A and B are shown apart, each in its own frame.
Chain A
């Protein structure tokens, strides 16, 4: 039988693995050698084993296709993605710079609103954002930190340039896959590691805990931290249990907490115990029925009052979503310039703002070439992929855009880079992205933990787990 990797056909995209002549890039040489020496049937056997292990461990997410949600695993691809040290240090600098600027933006729009008064970002854009939380105006947060945990989605263009596609500032998930993928790969296929020593990922819970500890109100060096989950039906419930367990903190639901005299407590069998930091994996709207959705049973009544009084820290801050509103995204390079006086390390993807009449006209005229995204949705929902869309899809989007232009942006299709991936017959190139995570406690910390998502369908550019994506272990080299 032909060696496995020889079937890998190169494509007209940036190929992570090999250069234009089909020669493996230097950081993939060792892996290529190992892959060539492995028997295909052995490979197939391991793929099956690994996915069975993940299912048994319950490393699942929930797809909201029916009322109760279906538990599924994120398919795991055995061939690791490798990020060499020099690229990683560029990424680190780029996303740290971004998070600094976005955090400054949040402190500003909920504070003095200088960037709006100076006309860099339009008032209307911010005030019309669904995620601009007016209750936060005038809040003074400990250390002025809003974005304690973020996940920045990066993609690579045809020439290998890293672009920022999205800043996920609300409750980005995926870290559990990073931890599980590495663990499973080490156990099931230790040989793959023979030429490599990727930076460890298993210190993430420790670093998250450190960031949350540093985020506590001033002077509190041993804060009680809890992870607030919406509960067992949430798509990322597995991740919540895993992080709580590994951080050594309580996993709480809304009704485990109670606010008494502006202080948050958790209800234990030995009475109530004060809570200082809440790593919340619940959306803003559900946090406090007194101020937001009154019928929400997921949240804690009075939480916003305790928060305003500075008696508890919420990570991330309420209202952080305005900074990752897709229509605010085009302004991030300007924010970096405005707050830091620097040029962006990582470029944005060019973006058309449908709220602007000229740009909207362009978008409506080129719907078949662009990707259109709804600013109020995420996870690959509410999206139009122009080239693969039907006339009917485009017609629907045209009407929707004309009715609510503020809710749409459009971008040229960026041909995501490709990576060798196991498919039915062997190994083939599939499109991938990269989501590194950023922690911001006292200072910015970028652990070597990044999630590589892969579009398993041939030719697909959509990597979202809800849309048929899988994941890879990501090796960051020193």
Chain B
């Protein structure tokens, strides 16, 4: 496969995944602030600051919005800002442009899903959304992104193409879960704060089901980082990435043939064997940052192995 095609598939998938996460994060923020928290109150400010942080590219370059319009600004920045290359609309535009450039490789169904998401988002009027409330818009983005995932799995042959889509999807997801946990305020161990984190990770119901009535917030931390089969836990996502990498290279699990496999394998082993106490000792925010850096390194290594900027002579 052409390196460019692999790269486009990878970024297409990452951007769709990102649009989905972001849509949910913003929706959660609305739900949690619209009735429960007085606009402009400190807890509301914290929720919207976390949205701002998550909506940025992750490179720390986030505009500082403050004051009464914070909620509105954060919403716009995360959804319709074209300056923000990580906003919902930017992600969908990038994904569509990636899809167009590999259209010859995509199934009609996959192409049409992305194209209709694109047409839908482009047709929105931010003003109307401000009037009507964003929920139905955000839900449509989520639905579109989720059906993209389903259609990819159901219509694309599960070989190299699919593996690159998987890597993009799960690296993005792991990295978003990590970043959400990084927004956790160590001083606030309240139930609503943990509920926010769980909801932003789409984990609220699965967590309740898995934990029954546990009220220890640290259980949520373990769930989001380490759960073996919850599809948004960092450990689950890393494992999917690892499997996809080994499918691509043909190398047996447990050994490695390139840097991407080595880094993923090491991260996976760490997540497999780390104990919750260790995480708590290090501090969740610090731990998140460390995992995030490792995930970024995996992303770089995938790029170097499969679509290097500088060709190997």
Contacts and interface: CB of A to CB of B under 8 A. Distances in A.
A232 B307 contact: no
Interface string A253-273: 101101010000011111110
Contacts of A266: 2
B3 A268 contact: yes
Nearest to B312: A271
B97 interface: yes
A267 B3 contact: yes
A126 B38 CA distance: 79
Interface string B1-41: 11110100000000000000000000000000000000000
Contacts of B160: 269
A127 B1 CA distance: 43
Given A244-B104, A251-B104, A269-B160, A232 B2 contact: no
Contacts of A253: 4, 101
Interface string B102-117: 0110000000000000
Contacts of B1: 268-270
A250 B101 CA distance: 12
B312 A255 contact: no
A245 interface: yes
B248 interface: yes
A241 B104 contact: yes
A237 B102 CA distance: 11
A352 B101 CA distance: 44
A252 interface: yes
A269 B6 contact: yes
A232 B311 contact: no
A232 B101 contact: yes
A251 B164 CA distance: 18
Interface in B287-313: 306-308, 311-313
B97 to A, nearest CB: 7
A426 interface: no
Contacts of A252: 2, 4
Interface in A157-200: none
Contacts of A271: 312
Nearest to B6: A269
Contact of B4 (A237, A244, A245, A256): A256
Contacts of B248: 269
A94 interface: no
B202 interface: no
A231 interface: yes
Contacts of B311: 258, 260, 267, 272
Contacts of A267: 2-4, 307-308, 311
Interface string B85-106: 0000000000001001101100
Contacts of A231: 101
Contacts of B3: 256, 267-269
A260 B310 CA distance: 13
A66 to B, nearest CB: 16
Contacts of B312: 271-272
Interface string A215-247: 000000000000000011000010001001100
A69 to B, nearest CB: 13
Interface size class of A (residues with CB under 8 A): 20 to 34
Given A269-B160, A269-B248, A232 B97 contact: yes
A251 B6 CA distance: 13
A199 to B, nearest CB: 27
A268 B313 contact: no
Given A260-B313, A267-B311, A271-B312, A241 B103 contact: yes
A231 B98 CA distance: 11
Given A252-B2, A260-B313, A232 B100 contact: yes
Contacts of A250: 2
Interface string B144-178: 00000000000000001000100000000000000
A229 B4 CA distance: 13
A251 to B, nearest CB: 5
Contacts of A272: 311-312
Nearest to A255: B4
A256 B160 CA distance: 18
Contact of B307 (A251, A258, A269): A269
A87 B1 CA distance: 45
Contacts of A270: 1
A266 B2 CA distance: 7
Contacts of B6: 269
A8 B225 CA distance: 74
Nearest to B164: A269
Interface in B187-225: none
Contacts of B100: 232, 237
Given A269-B307, A271-B312, A256 B104 contact: no
B104 A245 contact: yes
A379 B160 CA distance: 41
A272 B2 CA distance: 9
A53 to B, nearest CB: 13
Nearest to B99: A232
A232 B2 CA distance: 16
Interface in B35-87: none
A349 B164 CA distance: 55
B257 to A, nearest CB: 12
Contacts of B164: 269
B305 to A, nearest CB: 8
Nearest to A243: B104
Nearest to A258: B311
A58 B111 CA distance: 11
B2 A268 contact: yes
Contacts of A237: 100
Contacts of A58: 103
Contacts of B307: 267, 269
Contacts of B4: 252-253, 255-256, 267
A244 B102 CA distance: 11
B101 A256 contact: no
A270 B100 CA distance: 23
A245 B104 CA distance: 6
Nearest to A56: B112
Q: Considering residues B4, B100, B101, B313, which has the most beta carbons from chain A within 10 angstroms of its beta carbon?
A: B4
Interface of B: 1-4, 6, 97, 100-101, 103-104, 160, 164, 248, 306-308, 311-313
16 contacts: A232-B101, A250-B2, A251-B104, A252-B2, A253-B4, A253-B101, A256-B3, A256-B4, A267-B3, A267-B307, A267-B308, A267-B311, A268-B1, A268-B2, A269-B164, A269-B248
Top 4 A-B pairs ranked by shortest CB distance?
A241-B104, A267-B3, A232-B100, A269-B306
Given A251-B104, A252-B4, 19 more contacts: A232-B97, A232-B100, A232-B101, A241-B104, A245-B104, A252-B2, A255-B4, A256-B2, A256-B3, A256-B4, A267-B2, A268-B3, A269-B1, A269-B6, A269-B160, A269-B306, A269-B307, A270-B1, A272-B311
